[in-house]
Structure 1
């Protein structure tokens, strides 16, 4: 499916982090990543000034878009999407086979952005919209006069000025006061809910980083503009990299509520993943970005 384009007409309501751009070191400097993901080599990158959503696009945001345009997501057109097995809220006849190699994922007829667990569920308006493909996300951006962030912009924003840090707040994962929505317990059968959430959390549930962005890691994977290649960092330009010219999968960043060290420790600033542009699932959403004029003042500002 080709991405749908609209003449920009929508009102995008998300709070913005206005970032001045500049240089940073991109990639895994801690040795935490899976070598196959392509988080190395660490390399210097310079990004231009841009604004980016302080939160993921919410269900309410996406509903305004769908109501204004009549847009139907790919999950709605296909008639099914992928749901985590402990979050099913569907009729027995709607539950399809588990995903080969990942039996905690189940195809569910009627699962979509309005019904994240199946037809018996209802999406929360202040949670990130999920079951949206890369194509769906770019359609929203077109309507809103926005775009998806590049992978470099996303990592720059997620780091919040902390050079080389694992997480948006530093290097350690505090367990006395949870700052991220990930899996606790035994994956994938038992979640002890220490962070308070089995699946998605409200977009403003946890404290922001120093740039004002909330939940860039955990909660939901976030689509970026770039095509994905595991060897891209070895040939990435220093100035405003935009990813490979072509590919078969688009970049996803930040991990999700399913991340657990026994299976997936990708709830880190440098972690990378990817999926095909038409894929949708219950743990992936997006935030939007836009170019802005250079600022004479250092730092960032929320408006």
Structure 2
């Protein structure tokens, strides 16, 4: 059962968003925070025995050169966007039940009004071993949690300007990118960039296991979800750029926070590719998740500080995950790209 299936009937907000005075524009100052990714071809898909079925078959993809944010969007950058546009994120709005029920099995009962309040999903470590299929053991629907209050209404982001913004939905990420004349990367662009010019490697840095040698990313070390030894130096989210970049000069392409992509998620999308090289694939035209067929999903990439091999191994460059576009969580952010 997916996280969305478990929580949506009492947790998820609607797919509407509010923008006041919004206008798209390109800002030269933001281009200095991007790096040009060279054009090229690569084999997209799973590289080792950890790969899930939706990572196959591996297929040939060609990507045109583009600019990509060097690091995920930070709290400071998102704050400037909100101050300029008066944007209201999904987590800051009351969930719209009429929108929610469109993506739920027929007959799903309406939740109590106490749950239909502005809120988001916050990580809550368990105090003992739990079944890793029991997501509610470590996620809490927290009223008042949003990008400015990541742990709930009594928390804040003081001193965390250079931390990645979280509790942002796909709609929030899309709106931010558009405000700067940018966009979200496709799933193919994201994976190509994450590989950093390496061929058929498991991680952005190569094949050395994430827990071997020098710390290479912010991930869960220990026993998930109740014991984190934080050998990498961080128990929670780390400031952007805390670990070495990949071959293209991109930071945080593994761990720390998941990143939204442009694409709809479809579990069988890769099987639609033949032997010919796919040129800049834009993702499937619709979503399909066999674990949760009623809810459309967007693809997310890169893993987070909560990932471990026992749970999701999300820091692998080929790892695909998904979430409904109105979902916001305490470990999901994004970065932008811009066409040449």
**TM-score normalised per structure 2:** 0.78
Q: Deviations over 1:8-55 (max 9, x none)?
A: 1364636111012111110012232122xx101011000111110110
Distance 1:4 1:211, change over 3 A: farther
Aligned to 1:22: 40
1:197-236 equivalences under 5 Å are 197-236=234-273
1:49 pairs with 65, 69, 91, which one? 65
User: Which of 285, 294, 314 in structure 2 is aligned with 1:245?
Assistant: 285
Q: TM-score, normalised by structure 1?
A: 0.88
Deviation at 1:193, TM superposition (A): 1.1
After TM superposition, the runs of 4+ consecutive aligned structure 1 residues lying more than 2 A away are 1-7, 9-14, 99-102, 173-176
Cα separation, partners in 2 of 1:4 and 1:241, compared to 1, 3 Å? farther
Structure 1: 5+ residue runs without aligned partners?
88-98, 293-303
Correspondence for 1:94: none
CA distance, structure 1, for counterparts of residue 255 and residue 177 of structure 2: 22
- Name the SS for the 1:118 alignment partner: coil
Say whether residues 1:280 and 2:316 are aligned partners: no
Deviation per residue, 1:167-200 (Å, 9 max, x gap):
1110012533201000011111111111111221
Partner residue, 1:261? 309
Residue 123 of structure 2 corresponds to which residue in structure 1?
84
RMSD between superposed Cα atoms in Å: 1.8
User: Corresponding residue for 2:202?
Assistant: 166
Deviates more, 1:181-190 or 1:169-178: 169-178
Q: CA deviation at 1:271?
A: 0.2
Question: What is the alpha-carbon distance in structure 1 between the residues aligned to residue 64 and residue 26 of structure 2?
Answer: 25
Q: Distance in 2 between matches of 1:271 and 1:265?
A: 7
Alpha-carbon displacement from aligned partner over 1:174-233 (angstroms, at most 9, x marks no partner): 533201000011111111111111221111101100100001110000000000101101
Q: Distance in 2 between matches of 1:41 and 1:275?
A: 22
What's the secondary structure of 2:55's corresponding residue? coil
